[in-house]
Structure 1
Amino acid sequence: MQAARACQILPTKLQTTASPPKLAPPTYNPQPPNKIPLALSITAPPLEHTTTVQEKKTEDDTVAAFWDYQFLFVSQRAETAEPVTLRLVDGAFPHDFPSGTYYLTGPGLFTDDHGSTVHPLDGHGYLRAFSFDARRRRVEFMARYIETEAQAEERNPLTGEWRFTHRGPFSVLKGGRMMGNTKVMKNVANTSVLRWGGRLFCLWEGGDPYEIQAPTLDTLGRFNVVGGPNTPPENNRGKRIFTADFLDVAAQILKPVLHGVFKMSPKRFLSHYKIDTERNRLLIMSCNAEDMLLPRSNFTFYEFDGNFKLVQSQEFSIPDHLMIHDWAFTDSHYILFGNRIKLDVAGSMAAVCGLSPMISALTLNPSNPTSPIYLLPRFPNSQPNRLRDWRIPIQAPSQMWVLHVGNAFEERGENGNLHIQIQASGCSYRWFNFQKIFGYDWQTGKLDPSMMNPTEGQQKLLPRLVQVNINMDKNGNYLKCDTSELSDWDKPSDFPVINQEFSGKKNRYVYAATSSGRRQALPHFPFDTVVKLNTIDRSSSTWSTGRRTFIGEPIFIAKGDDQNEDGGYVLVVEYAVSAHKCYLVVLDSTLIGKHNTIVARFEVPTHLNFPIGFHGFWAPD
């Protein structure tokens, strides 16, 4: 096991199918070919012969763009159990940068050694840690696979060989057992990371978090969020039920089937959590496994204090079929955007038989022209919350599928009226597709960048940053709800983040990943730009990477002695796929849109170059 943890790369090769003549991929890696990590199986697109210079440039860029996209999802089998000092290649270590660790998690492996590929959302969790040592003015890097139960089964600890046995919700195994394979819920702990109460966790959408030992990044095992010794007595836990009897019967039948056959956890914890800095509380949310197949949704909210003691929990049963990935909170509410779904009978039959991904059992439900927003009482005994029926959603005037939430806050006027604002990224129901996220084609196991880059006239369907305003009177009666662009920046954007000290409170600034639009063949995704939005005057400013270089989610790091909301730094990982390099970039948040935005850039060693990450967390020392 120790040998498998050593920092090394196993001899592998890039798996591709035959490409059309004269369309070989560009050279990406200075290492010998047998040192290139495994990638998804891919084929360059066929292009017609052209003669003009402009057409030739367009053809070349299309081919390069195709391969650039693939190399964002190259598997990385190397780990480093010992810290590696990153080389400073630009700028200087900022003199006022706090000591701490930036954790970034995401998928690390997409292709096994037996011909199977998986959707990026099903890739095994790969945790990266960038430790900032302010005293010695250096950054150290570590990367380890999270040793989940699925990882232990699918990876040989002695040889490093991988063989996928779990399908995962978004994948079908071509090189493994298809028919009758009930290993679906593959908890890969690859979506987000959290440090709270002195403990480090990696989370996934659909199961218990995995606890990680800091600073070694050893996996300690699954963490039982609820039901432990810190669970409060029953009379301290609120529960609200609104459901028909036949749904309760159906739920009781489905529970043992889903858990016993498909190994689904009864409580599916969401990967997105919230931190109430005012009360020093961690807020986590779960849903019931059987609600994936029933026309209702049960959500339980848990609040923990700084010592990880459960302070309160509440369950809400909503009479609508919803799928929630991210959510919001204010001083007195939990807020859910009603992403509406429905059961696909034909798709569910194919999924159960292993002929299509399990997610094909569900499809979007665009039957309503509006977007329901549920305002759930965080403290139900408070006077305003007792007056309003939370089961009746607020209807936002436009239809929108919400992906991520940057912030939400509420303000009460002198007359007692309540104003709630939510800042989020949302897309059209016409574009969002469970089975094709990131352009993955489960039938071929390949990635198609065109799904994330639709043709002209369709870009308005892509994710963009919006602001939702809700007004109610002092008794909680609905007055008005409107939706608008968050700022003058109108290009597709996602991953909105803020200064966490303002979480749940009124904020001015939002930072997000977006695209400059300068790449003709990849105009919208992958992202190559950080945008800073001013929600008050609705202005925006940007910083962009170099050519054929992309970024992931930005994260804001506040300066300890700076009281200004934007007084700090923005961290973002830069993927220079043409050079097969990763860099950690430090930006001055106050200088975004101006000169000298880059404070420092640190290079990750080429042999530890990693695929695109999902969500990160800054943990100060």
Structure 2
Amino acid sequence: MGTELNRRRFLRNLLSGATTLALAPLLLHGQDALAGDPAVFARGLRANPWLAGWKSVEAEALGPTVVEVEGQLPAGFAGTLYRNGPAWTERAGFRYEHWFDGDGMVHGWHFEGDRVTHRARMVATPKFSREQKAGRFLYPAAGTTVPDTQPIRNNDDANPANTSVATINGRLFALCEAGSAFELDPDQLTTLGPVTWRPDLASVPFSAHPLVDRDGSTWNFGAISLMGGSGLFVWHIGADGTLISGDVLDTPVRGYLHSFAQTDHYLVFTLIPFDYREGHGAFFERLRLQPDQSLRVAVVAKDAPTKARWFEAEFAAIYHFGDAFERNGQIVMRAVQHADVEQARSPMQSAMNGRPDAHGGQGRLRELHLGLRDGKARWQDTGVAGIEFPLFDPRTRGDRAARLYAPANHGLHTAPYFNAIASFDVERDRRQLHDYGESVLVEEHVFVPRPGSTRAGDGWLVGTLLDSARGRSGIAVLDAEHVDAGPLAQAWLPHTLPLGFHGHFAART
């Protein structure tokens, strides 16, 4: 009883309105500004058309547009691919320098029969709505210092809702790691508002990479350090969209994490050590990752989310994880590691500034083996490199490695970004790849199970593309078991869209 009372008291103190006002969220600090010049970016774009992937949109809504289909959509493939990413990056002669800063735009690519429809809309967060009215950026950003910022009361005053999307019980949410989930209408993409899963949890971060369990419930975390405190908040949301539990997991050190992994029985959180320099500047400007220190890895049993078994592992700069599974007393977790920690701190920074010398920050796939019996952690290379954004079929058995699907580099390519989609069966050393062409920029491809099938890997990949040579953005559907055969169907808009980060396919029910 004493522990439960202390937990409730901690949450009450941390999350009270007065405390939230005083904490000044760490991720959203920003002072004296230096930023990119929109005119410089425009000149770079004229010389390098692939920079359209980092161009700012100028309209709050796009479409709906019916898009002509090339090829044949497979029978049973029906639903909507939702995508989110930073899209509004310029105002009043001021351009964000960091890719993570732009306000989020959610896209809906809807498939019905042989018809594809696209629409997109900016997420009408308080930040975006107030800045639209003012005609300039008003609030601190994660990676760019902004001049003359207004004070914020809590995380959601500066939440761009720009990283990912999720659906729970038919409800659609736009997500960002430092604030609340924003609910959207799944058809019109209009913003319904921030979600408070319980009254005392308003503005607690609901991160951008929730994971769906086999029972249909959803796990997620929020980094309390981004609110000025310490620890992780562990969310468990039921398949019906109601809160099952919300718990605080104490952490021995402060560490950065963007996503996490799960097995059938455990959640795995990886804290990347960093130093936060005093002085002025936005969070990512002042953050310095510390490769001379170890990762701290928490293995948390799903039936005891306030307790962790801690491991120490060799440093790695990680944003995204693939699958994780349990076998022979070990947890094996796959992650994409970035060798250049500066590029990891500000990916595609040159592209954001209109320079052609950008580096995509593509990483190598490694496996982290966590010994549940001996308490040891070790990394193992897979031989796979030049990828990011790995996804897999979550129906894969809990004691087996899943086949991973990820954008990749192949052959000649115009932009310092991905131009292919690949599937990797690491344990069998099998790889399939489709090269879209040297001028095409390839985004994350989401796995979609074939209706009525329970066999892991039986389904399709659906992903978005930017063809810089033809000035168009589009979408492709591939057979997940025959990636090297190329798209079954493609559809192209007559204009380009900014590149986004993450998506989710909501099958038609």
DSSP 3-state at the match of 1:207: coil
Rounded to whole Å, the distance in 2 between the matches of 1:335 and 1:429 is 24
Rounded to whole Å, the distance in 1 between the matches of 2:219 and 2:381 is 28
Decide whether the 8 Å contact of 1:69 with 1:526 is kept in 2: no
Counterpart amino acid of residue 620 in structure 1: A
Identify which of 381, 390, 399 aligns with 1:485.
Answer: 381
Decide whether the 8 Å contact of 2:49 with 2:469 is kept in 1: yes
Q: How far does the alpha carbon of each residue in 1:266-297 deviate from its partner, in whole angstroms, 9 at most, with x for none?
A: 62222111000x222111211214665x7xx4
Offset, 1:138: 1.0
Offset, 1:446: 1.4
Rounded to whole Å, the distance in 1 between the matches of 2:221 and 2:112 is 34
Distance 1:266 1:597, change over 3 A: closer
Q: How far does the alpha carbon of each residue in 1:158-209 deviate from its partner, in whole angstroms, 9 at most, with x for none?
A: xxx9422223121134xxxx25654696211110001102211001121111
Rounded to whole Å, the distance in 2 between the matches of 1:613 and 1:155 is 21
Where do 1:32-43 residues align within 5 Å? 40-41=41-42, 43=44
1:471 alignment partner in structure 2: 371
Matched, 1:532 2:423: yes
Matched, 1:421 2:421: no
DSSP 3-state at the match of 1:407: strand
TM-score by length of 2: 0.84
DSSP 3-state at the match of 2:39: coil
Counterpart amino acid of residue 390 in structure 1: A
Distance 1:558 1:612, change over 3 A: same
Rounded to whole Å, the distance in 2 between the matches of 1:290 and 1:167 is 13
Distance 1:148 1:322, change over 3 A: same
Distance 1:548 1:462, change over 3 A: closer
Q: How far does the alpha carbon of each residue in 1:468-497 deviate from its partner, in whole angstroms, 9 at most, with x for none?
A: 222232xxx42x4332233x43x3211000
Matched, 1:496 2:390: yes
Cα RMSD between the aligned structures?
Answer: 2.8
DSSP 3-state at the match of 2:124: coil
Counterpart amino acid of residue 347 in structure 2: I
Distance 1:214 1:180, change over 3 A: closer
1:438 alignment partner in structure 2: 348
Identify which of 384, 394, 405 aligns with 2:311.
Answer: 394
Matched, 1:600 2:489: yes
Distance 1:400 1:449, change over 3 A: farther
Distance 1:543 1:289, change over 3 A: same
Matched, 1:360 2:285: yes
Matched, 1:377 2:301: yes
Q: How far does the alpha carbon of each residue in 1:29-70 deviate from its partner, in whole angstroms, 9 at most, with x for none?
A: xxxxxxxxxxx45548xxxxxxxxxxxxxxxxxx96xx1442
Rounded to whole Å, the distance in 1 between the matches of 2:342 and 2:94 is 30
Rounded to whole Å, the distance in 1 between the matches of 2:175 and 2:365 is 25
1:614 alignment partner in structure 2: 501
1:244 alignment partner in structure 2: none
Rounded to whole Å, the distance in 1 between the matches of 2:350 and 2:403 is 33
Distance 1:208 1:508, change over 3 A: closer
Rounded to whole Å, the distance in 2 between the matches of 1:430 and 1:498 is 26
Distance 1:537 1:269, change over 3 A: same
Rounded to whole Å, the distance in 2 between the matches of 1:437 and 1:226 is 35
Identify which of 456, 464, 468 aligns with 1:577.
Answer: 468
Corresponding pairs, count: 469
Distance 1:179 1:508, change over 3 A: closer
Counterpart amino acid of residue 404 in structure 2: V
Identify which of 313, 316, 319 aligns with 1:403.
Answer: 319
Unaligned runs of 5+ in 2: 1-36
Distance 1:116 1:613, change over 3 A: closer
1:267 alignment partner in structure 2: 204
Distance 1:447 1:375, change over 3 A: farther
Q: How far does the alpha carbon of each residue in 1:99-155 deviate from its partner, in whole angstroms, 9 at most, with x for none?
A: 211100111111124444453211111110011113xx2111111111110111111
DSSP 3-state at the match of 1:450: coil
Decide whether the 8 Å contact of 2:405 with 2:422 is kept in 1: yes
Question: Structure 1 residues 559-568 or 206-215, which shifts more?
Answer: 559-568
Identify which of 81, 96, 99 aligns with 2:76.
Answer: 96
DSSP 3-state at the match of 1:151: helix
1:219 alignment partner in structure 2: 191
Rounded to whole Å, the distance in 1 between the matches of 2:476 and 2:412 is 21
DSSP 3-state at the match of 2:370: strand
Alignment identity in percent? Answer: 20
Counterpart amino acid of residue 239 in structure 2: G
Rounded to whole Å, the distance in 2 between the matches of 1:141 and 1:213 is 15
Matched, 1:151 2:128: yes
Offset, 1:408: 1.1
Q: How far does the alpha carbon of each residue in 1:308-363 deviate from its partner, in whole angstroms, 9 at most, with x for none?
A: 12222331111111011010122222111121112212xxx222xxxxx3433322
Identify which of 81, 88, 93 aligns with 1:109.
Answer: 88
Counterpart amino acid of residue 380 in structure 1: A
Decide whether the 8 Å contact of 1:41 with 1:117 is kept in 2: no
Rounded to whole Å, the distance in 2 between the matches of 1:110 and 1:127 is 15
2:454 alignment partner in structure 1: 563
Matched, 1:350 2:310: no
Decide whether the 8 Å contact of 1:422 with 1:468 is kept in 2: yes
Rounded to whole Å, the distance in 1 between the matches of 2:318 and 2:397 is 18
Decide whether the 8 Å contact of 1:268 with 1:289 is kept in 2: no
Rounded to whole Å, the distance in 2 between the matches of 1:85 and 1:462 is 34
Rounded to whole Å, the distance in 2 between the matches of 1:566 and 1:301 is 30
TM-score by length of 1: 0.70
Unaligned runs of 5+ in 1: 1-13, 18-39, 45-62, 232-264, 352-356, 454-460
DSSP 3-state at the match of 1:573: strand
After TM superposition, the runs of 4+ consecutive aligned structure 1 residues lying more than 6 A away are none
Where do 1:188-227 residues align within 5 Å? 188-227=160-199
Which structure would you say has the larger Rg? 1
2:136 alignment partner in structure 1: 163
Decide whether the 8 Å contact of 2:105 with 2:122 is kept in 1: yes
Rounded to whole Å, the distance in 1 between the matches of 2:263 and 2:402 is 16
DSSP 3-state at the match of 1:93: coil
Distance 1:290 1:306, change over 3 A: closer
Offset, 1:367: 2.6
Decide whether the 8 Å contact of 2:225 with 2:254 is kept in 1: no
1:302 alignment partner in structure 2: 235
Identify which of 288, 291, 297 aligns with 2:224.
Answer: 288
Decide whether the 8 Å contact of 1:407 with 1:503 is kept in 2: no
Offset, 1:377: 2.5
DSSP 3-state at the match of 1:578: coil
Rounded to whole Å, the distance in 2 between the matches of 1:619 and 1:70 is 30
Distance 1:462 1:511, change over 3 A: closer
Matched, 1:125 2:84: no
